[in-house]
């Protein structure tokens, strides 16, 4: 695939056009202005490599022609898309630490809970390459027997790496990198900025090195951005409303009224602004639109959403679309969440709960760390935006 050349400035920031790249400044005047973005103490001096045309990262310390290879795969069929991306990030970190040459091949089969829900035979054998370019010059072998000669993780090894103290995490689960347990953090129900900065900055650093979208994915994000975002100040809202498991660290399903409270404040503060909502829940989206002061300024993509329900602890809950095998293709389900995350990352501010999808948006644009409100936690500990 022919791709355009790119250049770097003295900070090592990569630029592509036409969509503003992660890390570019936000402005009080909307997307047409050019004033400084937020200041992050100790912020990383890099930008996320997104869009076609970015070079494959080659670490000169690694011998790419003769080194040992790491096959990064997904072993649990119940992982949502950005939970799978978290596995990929932690596997890439392992590869760097242990001097492996990584490649990502996420196929149909997993070791637990059936097939990968994002697999689509009509698109190809490797789910990663539906949306991204390879992470290194080592192209994934198509032959299963060849891949099995490389280093890869079992289900238990993958789980241990995912929960290890050094692992990148989307919220409070597993073992902590510091002296405070994540179980205690979850029980205290407080927003811990140090925890989130630690994980977000590390994830964003790895993404800046390894993640590059296929041009058709990037192009579709461009089209939506230009039609609905360009020239407006936009508040991103991510509402996870179907499959949260409280004991796993995800916490409660946040009612639509709590998101709407922030959205109404934003719409009031910035005349002519818009709200972009990403959610897999039909009911939560409908309720949210009924609560905002001006529904005409709300935008939400026409994504696949399930009509199925399930029972949990006496409650009837909506099924998450990726677990609904009767609705839509695996590729479409993956594309929907990827596009939503790209667009959330391009918003001027973000309101969200505990979710790998929300964190993915911040990983793609680390400056959202200081321009987001995590409403999963006790109100007194949340970030306080200037418009609220």
- Reported as a single tens digit per residue, the pLDDT across 85-125 is 999 999 999 999 999 999 999 999 999 888 899 999 999 99
pLDDT reported for residue 302: 86
pLDDT tens profile 192-227: 999 999 999 999 999 999 999 999 999 999 999 999
DSSP assignment of 71-112: EE---BTT--HHHHHHHHHHHHHHHHHHT-EEEE---S--SB
Token pair, residue 202, equals 């590390």
pLDDT reported for residue 313: 63
pLDDT tens profile 239-269: 987 665 555 546 788 999 999 999 999 999 9
Q: Whats the size of the chain, residue-wise? A: 388
Burial (0-12, 13-18, 19+ Cβ within 10 Å), 234: buried
Show the domains of the chain with their CATH numbers.
69-163 (no CATH), 215-374 (3.40.50.11350)
Interstrand relation of 309-312 and 315-318 (parallel, antiparallel or unpaired)? antiparallel
Measured between alpha carbons, how far is 200 from 202 in angstroms, rounded to an integer?
5
- Average pLDDT, stretch 28-34? 34
Place of tokens 């040992």: 68
Q: What angle do CA 319, 325, 330 make, to 5 degrees?
A: 105
Q: What confidence category does residue 271 fall into, taking pLDDT thresholds of 50, 70 and 90?
A: very high
CB of 33 closer than 8 Å to CB of 42? no
pLDDT reported for residue 32: 31
* Predicted TM-score (pTM) above 0.75: yes
């Amino acid at each position: 695939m022919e791709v355009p050349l790119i250049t770097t400035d003295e900070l090592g920031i990569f630029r592509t056009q036409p969509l503003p790249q992660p890390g570019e400044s936000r402005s009080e005047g909307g997307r047409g202005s050019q004033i400084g973005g937020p200041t992050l103490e100790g912020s990383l001096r890099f930008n996320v490599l997104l869009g076609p045309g970015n070079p494959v990262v080659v670490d000169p310390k690694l011998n790419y022609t003769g080194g040992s290879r790491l096959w990064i795969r997904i072993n649990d069929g119940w992982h949502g898309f950005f939970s799978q991306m978290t596995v990929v990030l932690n596997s890439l970190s392992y590869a760097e630490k242990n001097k492996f040459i990584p490649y990502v091949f996420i196929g149909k089969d997993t070791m637990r809970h059936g097939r990968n829900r994002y697999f689509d035979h009509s698109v190809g054998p490797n789910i990663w390459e539906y949306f991204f370019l390879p992470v290194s010059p080592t192209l994934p072998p198509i032959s299963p027997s060849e891949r099995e000669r490389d280093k890869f993780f079992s289900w238990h090894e993958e789980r241990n790496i995912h929960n290890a103290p050094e692992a990148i995490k989307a919220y409070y689960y597993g073992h902590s990198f510091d002296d405070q347990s994540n179980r205690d953090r979850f029980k205290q129900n407080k927003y811990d900025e140090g925890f989130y900065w630690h994980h977000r900055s590390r994830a964003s650093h790895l993404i800046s090195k390894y993640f590059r979208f296929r041009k058709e994915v990037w192009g579709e994000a461009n089209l939506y951005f230009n039609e609905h975002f360009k020239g407006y100040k936009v508040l991103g809202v991510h509402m996870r409303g179907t499959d949260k498991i409280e004991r796993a660290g995800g916490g409660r399903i946040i009612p639509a009224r709590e998101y709407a409270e922030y959205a109404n404040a934003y719409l009031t503060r910035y005349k002519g602004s818009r709200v972009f909502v990403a959610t897999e829940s039909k009911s939560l989206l409908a309720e949210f639109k009924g609560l905002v002061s001006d529904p005409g300024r709300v935008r939400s993509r026409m994504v696949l959403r399930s009509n199925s329900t399930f029972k949990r602890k006496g409650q009837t809950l909506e099924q998450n679309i990726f677990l609904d095998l009767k609705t839509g293709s695996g590729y479409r389900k993956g594309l929907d969440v990827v596009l939503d995350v790209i667009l959330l990352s391009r918003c001027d501010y973000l309101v969200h709960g505990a979710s790998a999808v929300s964190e993915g948006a911040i990983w793609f644009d680390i400056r959202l760390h200081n321009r987001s409100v995590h409403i999963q936690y006790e109100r007194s500990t949340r970030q306080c935006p200037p418009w609220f």
